Amino acid sequence: MKEKSKIIEEIQQDRLRLLSLKSEFKNSDTENFYLELRENRTMIYLLQSNFCELNNTLKLHDNLIEYSNFHSNIKIRHKLQRKITRQFSNYLNSLFSIVDYNRRNVEKLFLRNPIENQKYNERKELFKKNKYHIFIKDLRNYSAHFTYLKIGSEIDYSGHSVKPTKSIIIYKNDLLMDASLSNKTKDIISEMPDKIRLNDILFDHYNAFVEFQNYTFLQIFLIDIKRTENFIAKMNEYYLNVESINSTGQLFFDKSFLRYLDYVYMKAKKYGK
């Protein structure tokens, strides 16, 4: 009986210790930093998931477009184009939710460090001048405030390539009906053909956007070096203390996340400056 009561007492002590550790962690700067990083990466995850879903549908589109029934059966074609329209709209919404999130939260972090803030703003202004970003931004405004994207399909057998060029398209005239388009976007559209191929624009912009967001994520670790190093040390300490009472299942991260922090910080110091 004494052995059993001792075990129960140890379990109760471990529970109290865990509650104490959680209470100490909650609302601390360590938790705040963790939540900032998690929110940042979750936004990117949602974007990448929407892009992956859209990309898989575009691959299906490219596989089907060469078959005669895709062109002769209006229902099949319309169903797939409607699916692409929905996924494209979801992707654009998740993309610009990141833009809004950065403006609302991330840019406040950079204000703590004038040097990093200047570097971030210079990189941001350079990216904002990307013609595809300007176009994609108004494409999102068009779908959110004017009407849905009227997606078409095109297969082009002309050109020097052995394989035909396949793409989803949107018509220039449809876009120009939106009077709220910026002058920059109108200038960009004026240089495009009547049938605007979206595939290359989508992929080029996605790669540039994710590259900029990953750069921004690295720079966050350099805003306040002391805070970053203290955060990593506290996260490791917290994990070891919880591990000592065999309660790591109660944590929202594991050892792989701690290794990830070390890797990202090292990469930030190497490439972020």
| Separation of alpha carbons 268 and 221, rounded Å | 7
User: Phi then psi for 155, rounded to 5 degrees?
Assistant: -125, 125
| Separation of alpha carbons 137 and 96, rounded Å | 8
Q: Which of 26, 149, 167, 169 is nearest to 90 (CA)?
A: 149
For residue range 42-56, what is the model confidence (pLDDT) as tens digits? Answer: 999 999 999 999 999
Arithmetic mean of pLDDT over the chain: 91
Q: Once rounded to an integer, what is the mean pLDDT over residues 173-201?
A: 92
Contact yes or no for 142/171 (Cβ under 8 A) = no
Which percentage of the chain shows pLDDT scores above 90? 73
Q: How far is CA 207 from CA 119, 127, 215, in A?
A: 20, 12, 12
For residue range 106-162, what is the model confidence (pLDDT) as tens digits? Answer: 999 999 999 999 999 999 999 999 999 999 999 999 998 899 999 999 888 876 667
Contact yes or no for 139/149 (Cβ under 8 A) = yes
Q: Which of 88, 61, 87 is nearest to 167 (CA)?
A: 61
